[in-house]
């Protein structure tokens, strides 16, 4: 066994570190540290910086303008990004629809869509879930009926993250109702500006409208926006889901947050003349999180090792999703714990970009509860943690 990097890998690590130190804008870093959401423009700007460096698409092959990195290089890059707090490229284009386009899109579709994704010219959102089809995604009902050179789409999608920013949406739609539910689904790309599409923001518990409901009323979509074959969409989507489940453990971000927790604990009065870093109960919880993070990191490295010798990510990657998200949620609990009374004020607007008023509470302590509420999503989306456990029971344990 050997978990050391090679000399080349170490050199690469240095290069990434140096680049991020110099080129990840300091003001974004400050915002991220202060718990302030980066705006769409800022996210796009950052992605364009990555693009210029040639590092926008760490998971793409070279032929499409990706880095062509090995699993280890991707890991190094993701680690350094996470440690410094640089946001990963918005996943919907880069990580979700692009791999499907590469695998199943026509040449014309690849040429039409991939460059704009790579350069962050076009913002994508994911249109899978529906009000009545969440965990049971295959039961989705939004219909697409062929009419000459077009499909006519009717129905509604929900929980579309950042749909308010999106230029395009990739959807799973029902094209055949007469067969088994998985066999009548197609994968379709839809321009958000098409007449008949309306968006309704959904405000979440942290006071922010991060997701949307999207309604389709007689929306006419050119037939050449269909990916691959009609009724094969479920197969394509499943491929995408496995992509979604790599690099999901969030270990680098976890490390960064753990370091922040330690710093904060050292600066938080325990009320008795010491700091929370000396509080036995808190110290124990910090240690538990630290240890779990290490166990998770090595679980991820073991998965990566399998990937780097060409194995497909197996159902074991569900472990990374479950543990990674639950650990992130535990860290939120620790931030809430440290903030004490300071996380009670509900003033979400003070963490929006451009807030001018008088802030409540010291630092970003009032963001702790907001993040705690918001991150309950982590165990719900991307295949809920119950669904992940079902996968482990069935596909790994054979139950």
Partner 1 sequence: MWIFSNTEEQQMLQESVQKFVYKSYDFDTRNQIIASEKGFSQENWDLFAELGWLTVPFKEDDGGFGGSAVDLAVMMEEFGKAMLVEPFIATAVLAGGVISEQGSAEQKAELLPKIMEGSLQLACAYAEQGSRFNLANIKTSAVVEGDTVVLNGSKTAVLNGSNAEILLVAARESGAATDSEGISVFLVEAASAGVSIQSFANVDGKKSAEISLKDVSVPVSQRLGTSGSALQALQDGVDRATLAVSAEAVGAMESLLHKTVEYSKTRKQFGTAIGTFQALQHRMADMFIECQLARSIVIMAAMKLDGGESALEKTKSVSAAKSRIGRAIQKVGQEAIQIHGGIGMTEELDVGHLFKSVTAAEIMFGNTDYHTQRFASL
Ligand X SMILES: Cc1cc2nc3c(=O)[nH]c(=O)nc-3n(C[C@H](O)[C@H](O)[C@H](O)COP(=O)(O)OP(=O)(O)OC[C@H]3O[C@@H](n4cnc5c(N)ncnc54)[C@H](O)[C@@H]3O)c2cc1C
Q: How many residues in the chain? A: 399
Is the Cα torsion angle 248, 321, 344, 258 positive or negative in sign? negative
Q: Minimum distance from CB of 182 to partner 1 (Å)?
A: 12
273 binds, among ligand X, partner 1, none (CB under 5 to 8 A by kind): partner 1
Distance CA 305, CA 216 (A): 44
Task: Tell whether residue 179 is a contact of partner 1 (CB under 8 A).
Answer: no
Cβ 187 vs Cβ 236: under 8 Å? yes
Q: Which two tokens stand for residue 248?
A: 């999901």
Task: Tell whether residue 142 is a contact of partner 1 (CB under 8 A).
Answer: no
Q: Minimum distance from CB of 42 to partner 1 (Å)?
A: 25
Task: Tell whether residue 115 is a contact of partner 1 (CB under 8 A).
Answer: no
- Tell me 397's DSSP state: T
Distance CA 398, CA 396 (A): 6
Cβ 237 vs Cβ 172: under 8 Å? yes
Is the Cα torsion angle 72, 77, 78, 83 positive or negative in sign? positive
Binding pattern for the stretch 324-353 against partner 1, x by CB under 8 A and - elsewhere: -----x---x--xx--xxxxxxxx------
Between residues 68 and 363, which has the closer beta carbon with respect to partner 1? 363
Task: Tell whether residue 135 is a contact of ligand X (CB under 6 A).
Answer: yes
Cβ 337 vs Cβ 282: under 8 Å? yes
Binding residue for partner 1, selected from 158, 212, 371, 388, defined by CB under 8 A: 158
160 binds, among partner 1, ligand X, none (CB under 5 to 8 A by kind): ligand X
Backbone dihedral region for residue 393 (phi beyond 0: left; psi -120 to 50: alpha; all else: beta): alpha
Between residues 110 and 208, which has the closer beta carbon with respect to partner 1? 208
Binding residue for ligand X, selected from 386, 393, 394, 396, defined by CB under 6 A: 386
Cβ 100 vs Cβ 93: under 8 Å? no
Cβ 192 vs Cβ 168: under 8 Å? yes
Backbone dihedral region for residue 159 (phi beyond 0: left; psi -120 to 50: alpha; all else: beta): left
Q: Minimum distance from CB of 129 to partner 1 (Å)?
A: 7
Cβ 197 vs Cβ 190: under 8 Å? yes
- Quick one: which segment of 77-85, 114-122, 310-318, 375-383 binds partner 1 (CB under 8 A)? 375-383
Binding residue for ligand X, selected from 47, 126, 317, 364, defined by CB under 6 A: 126
- Quick one: which segment of 94-102, 139-147, 305-313, 379-387 binds ligand X (CB under 6 A)? 379-387
How would you class 356 by CB atoms within 10 Å of its CB: exposed for 0-12, middle for 13-18, buried for 19 or more?
exposed
272 binds, among ligand X, partner 1, none (CB under 5 to 8 A by kind): partner 1
- Quick one: which segment of 71-79, 110-118, 219-227, 262-270 binds partner 1 (CB under 8 A)? 262-270
Distance CA 11, CA 252 (A): 19
Task: Tell whether residue 393 is a contact of ligand X (CB under 6 A).
Answer: no
Task: Tell whether residue 271 is a contact of partner 1 (CB under 8 A).
Answer: yes
Q: Minimum distance from CB of 382 to ligand X (Å)?
A: 6
Q: Which residue's Cβ lies closest to ligand X? A: 134
- The residue count for binding partner 1 (CB under 8 A) is 55
The pairing of strands 185-191 and 197-202 is: unpaired
Q: Which of residues 36-95 bind partner 1 (CB under 8 A)?
A: none
Task: Tell whether residue 386 is a contact of partner 1 (CB under 8 A).
Answer: yes
Binding residue for ligand X, selected from 25, 65, 134, 222, defined by CB under 6 A: 134
Q: Minimum distance from CB of 95 to ligand X (Å)?
A: 12
Q: Minimum distance from CB of 114 to ligand X (Å)?
A: 20
Q: Minimum distance from CB of 139 to partner 1 (Å)?
A: 8
Q: Residue 1's beta-bridge partner residues?
A: none
Residue 6 phi, psi (nearest 5): -75, 170
DSSP run (H or E) holding 77: helix 71-84
């Amino acid at each position: 066994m050997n978990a050391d990097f090679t000399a080349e890998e170490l050199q690469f690590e240095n290069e990434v570190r140096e680049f991020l130190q110099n080129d990840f804008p300091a003001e974004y870093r400050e915002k991220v540290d202060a718990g302030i959401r980066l705006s769409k423009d800022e996210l796009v700007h950052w992605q364009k910086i990555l693009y210029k460096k040639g590092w926008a698409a760490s998971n793409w092959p070279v032929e499409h303008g990706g880095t062509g990195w090995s699993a280890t290089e991707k890991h190094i890059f993701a680690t350094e990004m996470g440690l410094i707090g640089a946001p990963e490229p918005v996943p919907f284009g880069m990580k979700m629809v692009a791999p499907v386009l590469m695998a199943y899109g026509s040449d014309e579709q690849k040429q039409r869509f991939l460059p704009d994704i790579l350069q962050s010219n076009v913002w994508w959102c994911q249109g899978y879930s529906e009000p009545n089809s969440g965990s049971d995604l295959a039961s989705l009902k939004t219909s697409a009926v062929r009419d000459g050179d077009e499909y006519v789409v009717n129905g509604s999608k929900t929980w579309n993250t950042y749909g308010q920013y999106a230029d395009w949406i990739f959807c799973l739609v029902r094209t055949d109702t007469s067969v088994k539910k998985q066999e009548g689904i197609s994968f379709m790309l839809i321009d958000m500006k098409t007449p008949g599409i309306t968006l309704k923001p959904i405000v979440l518990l942290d006071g922010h409208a991060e997701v949307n409901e999207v309604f389709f009323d007689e929306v006419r979509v050119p037939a050449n926006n269909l990916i691959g074959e009609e009724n094969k969409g479920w197969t394509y989507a499943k491929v995408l889901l496995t992509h979604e489940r790599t690099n999901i453990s969030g270990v680098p971000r976890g490390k960064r947050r753990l370091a922040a927790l330690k710093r904060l604990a050292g600066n938080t009065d325990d009320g008795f003349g010491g700091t929370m870093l000396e509080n036995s109960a808190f110290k124990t919880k910090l240690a538990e999180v630290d240890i779990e993070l290490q166990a998770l990191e090595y679980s991820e490295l073991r998965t990566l090792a399998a990937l780097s010798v060409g194995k497909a990510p197996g159902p074991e990657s569900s472990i990374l999703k479950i543990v990674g998200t639950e650990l992130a949620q535990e860290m939120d609990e620790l931030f809430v714990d440290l903030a004490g009374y300071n996380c009670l004020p509900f003033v979400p607007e003070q963490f929006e970009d451009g807030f001018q008023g008088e802030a409540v509470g010291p630092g970003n302590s009032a963001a702790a509860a907001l993040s705690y509420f918001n991150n309950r999503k982590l165990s719900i989306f991307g295949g809920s943690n119950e669904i992940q456990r079902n996968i482990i029971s069935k596909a790994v344990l054979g139950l």
